[in-house]
């Protein structure tokens, strides 16, 4: 048994070691944060480094359109994939006119399962340096699972669009990247996939799949020169979020995309934007999971009540 002075010395050493460890961890996080959010890695995302073409799904609105424009600005030729040919033509002409790059359009409804042979044919013989799996769909409003309107259709549609599209597009594009030992795949998940979000249960779960799929795939293929990154934004001013006014914590798609691209190659899982990274750290590392779930549930119930009230008034 240790005598009192010896016990005091042991506790002193233990405390010093713990303080040193915590200090080292804090310093590491600080330096990592500076590397990611101040210096960035934006130069990596270029045709010279990755390949001539960028492929973007859900490319005619919101974050997808912002990716298409930003990648065109960086010199990539762009393959735009979305459902409506008229919108595709409009975005294609605008990008070609403004950025003087080549574009190609593929009209495809990701809610269907028979579209991938057509997409594969459209991508044939292209040197694809970057794939942005952005297409996604959410609920019309927060709702209890069994009360979701047209639930059967919502289930199949959300699985096809949010999950199957990521797997299938990766299947089509990844072999060429592995063969050339370079390429980037950005899978746009959501902060809703970082923890369970009640009243958006199916959406939250589908985005959690995208996150896990991306990180596991990155571990498989990073030694082969391919970067697969899970991107988990909080709110951005898009049609999906139904938010129109930007603020510090709710950026425009353009501002978000410029920030996110600088994290490529530095994080395999990223919130993409510094205020979102802080929010992600608070909600997953500082706050108890039960508290986060309760808070999110209350927010969902409030949004649900406002939506249903508006529907009755309308």
Q: CA 190, CA 146: separation in Å to the nearest integer?
A: 23
List, by residue number, the catalytic residues: 203
Q: Which of 265, 77, 83, 55 is nearest to 170 (CA)?
A: 55
β-pair type (77-82, 103-107)? parallel
Q: Give CA angle at 262 (258, 264), nearest 5°.
A: 120
Q: Which of 140, 78, 132, 85 is nearest to 104 (CA)?
A: 78
Q: Which of 208, 168, 166 is nearest to 187 (CA)?
A: 166
**Which residues make Cβ contacts (< 8 Å) with residue 40, sequence separation at least 6?**
262, 263, 266
Q: In angstroms, how far is CA 206 from the centroid of its own chain?
A: 12
**8 A C-beta contact, residue 265 and residue 41:** yes
Q: CA 73, CA 92: separation in Å to the nearest integer?
A: 13
**Which residues make Cβ contacts (< 8 Å) with residue 45, sequence separation at least 6?**
71, 74, 130, 184, 261, 264
């Amino acid at each position: 048994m240790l005598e009192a002075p010896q016990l005091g010395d042991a506790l002193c050493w233990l405390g010093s070691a713990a303080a040193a460890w915590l200090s080292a961890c804090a310093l590491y996080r600080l330096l990592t944060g500076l590397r990611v959010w101040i210096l960035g890695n934006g130069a990596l995302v270029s045709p010279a480094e990755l390949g001539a073409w960028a492929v973007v799904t859900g490319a005619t609105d919101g974050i997808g359109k912002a990716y298409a424009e930003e990648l065109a600005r960086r010199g990539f030729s762009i393959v735009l994939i979305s459902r409506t040919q008229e919108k595709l033509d409009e975005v294609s002409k605008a990008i070609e006119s403004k950025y003087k790059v080549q574009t190609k359009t593929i009209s495809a409804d990701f809610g269907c399962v028979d579209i991938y042979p057509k997409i594969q044919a459209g991508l044939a013989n292209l040197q694809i340096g970057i794939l942005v799996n952005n297409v996604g769909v959410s609920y019309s409003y927060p709702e209890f699972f069994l009360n979701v309107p047209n639930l059967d259709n919502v289930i199949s549609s959300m699985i096809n669009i949010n999950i199957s599209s990521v797997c299938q597009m990766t299947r089509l594009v990844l072999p060429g990247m592995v063969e050339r030992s370079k390429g980037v795949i950005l899978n746009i998940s959501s902060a809703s996939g970082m923890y369970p979000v009640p009243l958006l249960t199916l959406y939250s779960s589908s985005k959690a799949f995208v996150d896990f799929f991306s990180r596991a795939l990155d571990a498989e293929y990073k030694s082969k020169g391919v970067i697969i990154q899970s991107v988990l934004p909080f709110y951005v001013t898009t049609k999906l979020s139904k938010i129109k006014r930007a603020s510090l914590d709710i950026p425009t798609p353009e501002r978000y995309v410029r920030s996110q691209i600088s994290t490529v190659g530095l994080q395999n899982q990223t919130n993409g934007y510094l205020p979102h990274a802080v929010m992600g750290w608070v909600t997953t590392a500082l706050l108890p999971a039960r508290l986060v779930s309760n808070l999110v549930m209350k927010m969902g119930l409030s949004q649900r009540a406002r939506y249903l009230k508006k529907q009755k008034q309308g």
